[in-house]
Amino acid sequence: MSIPMLILVTGLSFLFLCLVFWPLEAAFPAKPGQRFFRPAWGTDLCFFLGQYLLWSGAVLWLLSHFGIWLDTVIPAGFRAPVAAQPWWAQACETIVLSDVCIYWGHRLQHRAGFLWRFHSIHHSAEHLDWLAAHREHPIDTIYTMGLINLPPFLLGFPLSTLAGLIAFRGIWAIYIHSNVRLPLGPLRMLIGAPELHHWHHDRDRRAGNYANISPLMDLLFGTYRCPDHEPAAFGIDEPIARSYLGQMLHPFRRKQDGDSSESRV
């Protein structure tokens, strides 16, 4: 993709997300009174631009080459029956398998010091909205996207199924970070929502709610948490730079207190 086209796509994506989530956050705010241009908005805008203009292409390139390598390892006779299933069956299987991987991988990010160095960038956001969802270190993105796509790659799901689900998960990730509270009632046991994920961003590093689309894994393993109110504060209990460049360099600085790995996950 040419640079002018990439800039155009980035601008259109920003406009689309504004048009979708700004009215939603205004109509159903989780934290009423939070301004559109809230503190650290500029930092999160840099993360957004970095993702769209720089890092997304690199992540997709790595994933595609990973998929090509797996094509040579996994027998075609095993992959063919998987690809022959109806699209809806492929989608359901991909979501379930990916959610299992992302639950344990995400839980490990909060327990293992090395992984937390990169993941803490995402949790450093002290205000949640659709733009804050993009605050993510590219190495953290590679890790997460690898976990999400590992089962489909291994089982041989076709690229068309993966592309659609990657797009769906991307929008879903933005939604659960948005400043929105739309209580789902009993359905919250089956479907993730901002009211769950906001508690994951509580300042307590072990706040729970590690699952992605469905909270079933959290329910099964005792990490489900959903009080009827918003957390008092978001962020992390460790010093971190406020600027985009400072946060990009943060994981590579000297080891900090409380950054040791823990065996129990």
Q: What is the DSSP string of 119-176?
A: HHHHHT-SS-STTGGG---HHHHHHHHHHHHHHHHHHT--HHHHHHHHHHHHHHHHHH
Please report which confidence band the pLDDT of residue 79 belongs to, taking 50, 70 and 90 as the band edges. Answer: confident
Mean pLDDT of the chain: 87
Token pair 């789902």 is found at 184
pLDDT at position 162 over 90: no
Beta bridge partners of 180: 29
Interatomic CA distance for residues 122 and 104, integer angstroms: 18
DSSP 55: I
Q: For position 263, what pLDDT does the model report?
A: 39
**CA 116 → CA 100, 140, 146, distances in Å?**
19, 9, 17
What ranges do the domains of the chain cover?
Answer: 39-252
- What average pLDDT score do residues 239-251 get? 94
What six digits make up the tokens of 71? 């094509």
Which pLDDT band holds residue 66 (cuts at 50, 70, 90)?
A: low
pLDDT in tens, 113-143: 999 999 999 999 999 999 999 999 999 998 9
d(CA 83, CA 155): 9
Q: Cβ distance 50 to 137 under 8 Å?
A: no
